Chains A and B, each alone.
Chain A
Amino acid sequence: MKRSGIFYAAAGIIALVVLAGFSYKERIFANQNWSEEQKSLIASLLLDALPALPADPSNRVANDPRAAELGQALFNDKRLSANAKVACATCHLRDRQFQDGTPLGHGVGQTNRRTMPISGTAHAPFLFWDGRKDSQWAQALGPLESAVEHGSDRTALARRLAVDYRRDYERLFGPLPEFTGLPDHASPEGNAAAKAAWSKMTEGEREAINRVFANIGKAIAAFERTIKPRETRFDRYARSLQAGTAPNDQLSEPEIAGLALFIGKGNCINCHNGPLLTDNHFHNTGVPAVEGLPEDTGRALGALQVKNDPFNCRGRYSDAAPSDCTELNFMVSEGDELLRAYKPPSLRNVALRPPYMHAGQFRSLDEVVRHYNKAPPAPAGHSELEPLKLNDREVHALQAFLATLSEED
């Protein structure tokens, strides 16, 4: 009798622990238990809350379907590269959320950064991990002249347009300049020969070529504006939660637990907020430096570059009035907070595109979440992270939630 009493007591305790654990899960998982504050945070992430495509006053052809058509052709055209083997689409693969799945991009050479996805970037005030460009069209110009991406130059690109796209170009932007006497290869950003050739051109010739160069970017941007995020399982869950209907079957228990952590204890929503799950700002999260790559100061350099970029919103190739350039006009351009700060990318489709961070430092979402959980000191500057003290179950739940942000085919 005594023995069986101990047995029942032990069984009872085990049952209690299981029951308690279960009830705890039930509490987080049942959507009717979301607080009003949690519900409103969840609603703020819903794709339906994404504002209409913002106007781009710096690009007068931004919404012209003919420009988007030309831009799409240019995006896929390998002839715009030095070796005729690299297009934008080489690293921005349509069937992989317009990224390439490798730690560093590979054009005619290897870049120092991870290729970024394109979807939804029309909503971003600053482009690239360090925000060194302030529009989609100015961003598109960078890789064309980068020695390790397209490896091309301004006069070569303008000549290419004249040969292959004259009619489409001219009906959008007016007559191409006369190329007689202009060098085959010239750019202020290229190799020594290209730079020398550029310096020998007259001011008027340079401006005419710069204008064609900028227009190439504007056409590509018109295409990129059409690349938009699509609904996910999370959106369906959040929408029915908002509507007050019971969508229990749409997210699993760990996924819902992960959502609770995402908007709560995990602090993820601090930077990954809004329908694109990015605040489009710049944060130092102590991501390790990569051995062998040059020193990378992130936004500290990016802020100076965008300020001085001749193709920025205030530049002569922009179609905007200077007063339209609000983001540039009021940007933070100096301070300790910029050192090794990088832009949080949209988390939509994040589970489908390892590796992670600005140089592909983490191979998996597990490594990412564990990094945020541990919050190591930054290699330079000051990390914004604090240790999260998540247990393994919570680490896995967060990953499960992140996978609900994937678009389905």
Chain B
Amino acid sequence: MTRRQILKSRLLWAAPLALITMVGLGAAAKMRSPLPENLDLSLTRYSDAGLYQTRLDTDMNPVSIGAMHAFIVTLRTRDGRPVEKAALTIDGGMPQHGHGLPTTPRVTADLGGGRYRVEGIKFNMPGWWTVTVHATSGAGGDETTFNLKL
């Protein structure tokens, strides 16, 4: 093999290798900003100070972006008893974008048994959203934050 032939054959190998590298780099550059690792997407969670067990149910499954819908929030004490007549407020937003919810959801019905209907929920973008339920009852005030991935 002459030197020139060796060079040619190396080039023939180098091209696909370079190609594969470019594909890899391209794929990495194209990924949307990733969610934090170990994001807890569970819809039944304990509140921050552990006063409540809060559960979120949606009336739209799967949730579609831009559509108004409602949640049922179920509030229980740590040992599982329903929390009646609690005062709930809801907020949230997109932590990666630094903005809040596009609407102001609020409780529209106390369904009894620790269940509350929250209307006016809307998510206007794909991505990671948080929804925080602030609850106040005889047991005290506490908040529970849920992660949603749309």
Shortest A257–chain B CB gap in Å is: 10
Give every chain A residue within 8 A of B99 (Cβ-Cβ): 337, 384
Contact of B1 with A by CB under 8 A: no
Q: Which of A20, A27, A384 has the most CB of B within 10 A?
A: A20
- Using known A-B contacts A4-B4, A12-B11, determine if residue A273 contacts B23 with beta carbons closer than 8 Å: no
Interface size class of B (residues with CB under 8 A): 35 or more
Verify B127–A260 contact, CB threshold 8 A: no
Shortest B72–chain A CB gap in Å is: 16
Contact of B100 with A by CB under 8 A: yes
Binary contact track A1-45/B, C-beta < 8 Å → 1, others 0? 100110011001001100111011001100000000100010010
Q: From the candidates B14, B26, B68, B119, name the one contacting A27 in the complex (CB within 8 A).
A: B26
Verify B11–A279 contact, CB threshold 8 A: no
Verify B23–A337 contact, CB threshold 8 A: no
Contact of A274 with B by CB under 8 A: yes
Interface-located stretch among B50-58, B80-88, B102-110, B140-148: B102-110
Contact of A363 with B by CB under 8 A: no
Closest residue on chain B to residue A4 by CB atoms: B4
Verify B125–A279 contact, CB threshold 8 A: yes
Closest residue on chain A to residue B4 by CB atoms: A8
Verify A330–B29 contact, CB threshold 8 A: no
Closest residue on chain A to residue B30 by CB atoms: A264
> Whole-angstrom distance between the alpha carbons of A337 and B97 in the complex?
12
Shortest B35–chain A CB gap in Å is: 12
Give every chain B residue within 8 A of A5 (Cβ-Cβ): 3-4, 7
Verify A330–B26 contact, CB threshold 8 A: no
Count, chain A residues at interface, CB 8 A = 39
Binary contact track A271-282/B, C-beta < 8 Å → 1, others 0? 101100001110
Q: From the candidates A20, A269, A332, name the one contacting B102 in the complex (CB within 8 A).
A: A332
Binary contact track B94-133/A, C-beta < 8 Å → 1, others 0? 0001111111111000000000000110101111000000
Contact of B15 with A by CB under 8 A: yes
Q: From the candidates A8, A19, A24, A44, name the one contacting B26 in the complex (CB within 8 A).
A: A24
Closest residue on chain A to residue B69 by CB atoms: A326
Q: Which of B8, B18, B29 has the most CB of A within 10 A?
A: B18
Q: From the candidates B26, B65, B105, name the one contacting A273 in the complex (CB within 8 A).
A: B65
Give every chain B residue within 8 A of A52 (Cβ-Cβ): none
Number of residue pairs spanning A and B whose beta carbons lie under 8 angstroms apart: 101
Contact of A231 with B by CB under 8 A: no
Give every chain A residue within 8 A of B18 (Cβ-Cβ): 16, 19-20
Verify B125–A273 contact, CB threshold 8 A: yes
Closest residue on chain B to residue A123 by CB atoms: B66
Q: Which of B3, B21, B104, B126 has the most CB of A within 10 A?
A: B126
Closest residue on chain A to residue B122 by CB atoms: A330
Q: Which of B8, B29, B120, B127 has the most CB of A within 10 A?
A: B120
Give every chain B residue within 8 A of A16 (Cβ-Cβ): 11, 14-15, 18
Give every chain A residue within 8 A of B102 (Cβ-Cβ): 279, 281, 332
Q: Which of A4, A281, A330, A337 has the most CB of B within 10 A?
A: A330
Verify B104–A384 contact, CB threshold 8 A: no
> Whole-angstrom distance between the alpha carbons of A8 and B12 in the complex?
13
Closest residue on chain A to residue B97 by CB atoms: A384
> Whole-angstrom distance between the alpha carbons of A332 and B91 in the complex?
11
Verify A19–B19 contact, CB threshold 8 A: yes
Verify A15–B15 contact, CB threshold 8 A: yes
Verify A274–B66 contact, CB threshold 8 A: yes
Q: From the candidates B19, B104, B126, name the one contacting A332 in the complex (CB within 8 A).
A: B104
Contact of B31 with A by CB under 8 A: yes
Residues of A within 8 A of B (CB): 1, 4-5, 8-9, 12, 15-16, 19-21, 23-24, 27-28, 37, 41, 44, 260, 264-265, 269-271, 273-274, 279-281, 326-327, 329-333, 335, 337, 384
Q: A28-B30, A274-B66, A335-B100 are in contact. List 17 more A-B contacts (CB 8 A).
A: A5-B3, A5-B7, A8-B4, A8-B7, A12-B11, A20-B15, A23-B22, A23-B23, A28-B26, A279-B65, A281-B102, A326-B119, A326-B120, A330-B122, A331-B103, A332-B103, A337-B100
The 10 closest A-B pairs by CB, nearest first: A330-B120, A279-B124, A23-B19, A12-B11, A330-B103, A24-B22, A281-B124, A20-B18, A20-B22, A281-B102
A-B contact pairs, 29 of them (CB 8 A): A1-B3, A4-B4, A5-B4, A8-B4, A12-B11, A16-B11, A16-B14, A16-B18, A19-B18, A20-B22, A27-B26, A28-B26, A28-B30, A260-B30, A270-B97, A270-B126, A271-B124, A273-B124, A274-B65, A279-B65, A279-B102, A280-B124, A281-B102, A326-B119, A329-B120, A330-B122, A332-B103, A335-B100, A337-B100
